[in-house]
Amino acid sequence: MREGAQAGVAFDGDGDRALLVDERGELFDGDDVMAAMGLKMAAAGELAGGAVVATVMSNFGLEVALRSKGARLVRTEVGDPAVVREMRAEATTSAESSRAM
């Protein structure tokens, strides 16, 4: 905000997780990003398999938002292996609410 940027991204140490912030300093977590991406892709007919794969840690609002555009939220146990396994089975888009995309 001090620099007048429109957005910011902060990565963790190995770069597999990120936090996003807007020009007002509002933080966006993985569920926010999955909702934005999933809704845009669903509206454009580009959401592979018509679903987003996320862990049980994702909030119910994500599921409601996706459902409003005819997309599904497929939940898995926590962890990259579970998400990847389900993603391959569903042939779809995935992420974790912990901001791993």
The answer to whether the beta carbons of residues 69 and 34 sit under 8 Å apart is no
Give the per-residue pLDDT at 1: 65
Backbone angles phi, psi at 58, to 5 degrees: -70, 150
Strands 18-22 and 93-94: unpaired
Task: State the SS3 of 13-61.
Answer: CCCCCEEEEECCCCEECHHHHHHHHHHHHHHCCCCHHHEEEEECCCCHH
Q: What is the per-residue pLDDT for 99? A: 45
pLDDT at 94: 57
Cα–Cα dist 43/37, whole Å: 10
In the chain, what's the furthest Cα-to-Cα distance? 45
Q: What is the pTM of this model?
A: 0.76
pLDDT at 93: 58
Q: What is the pLDDT of residue 18?
A: 86
Distance of alpha carbon 76 from alpha carbon 71, whole angstroms: 16
Per-residue model confidence as pLDDT tens for the chain (101 residues):
677 889 999 998 888 788 899 999 999 988 898 899 999 999 998 888 889 999 999 999 999 999 998 999 999 999 888 988 888 887 665 555 554 44
pLDDT of 30:
86
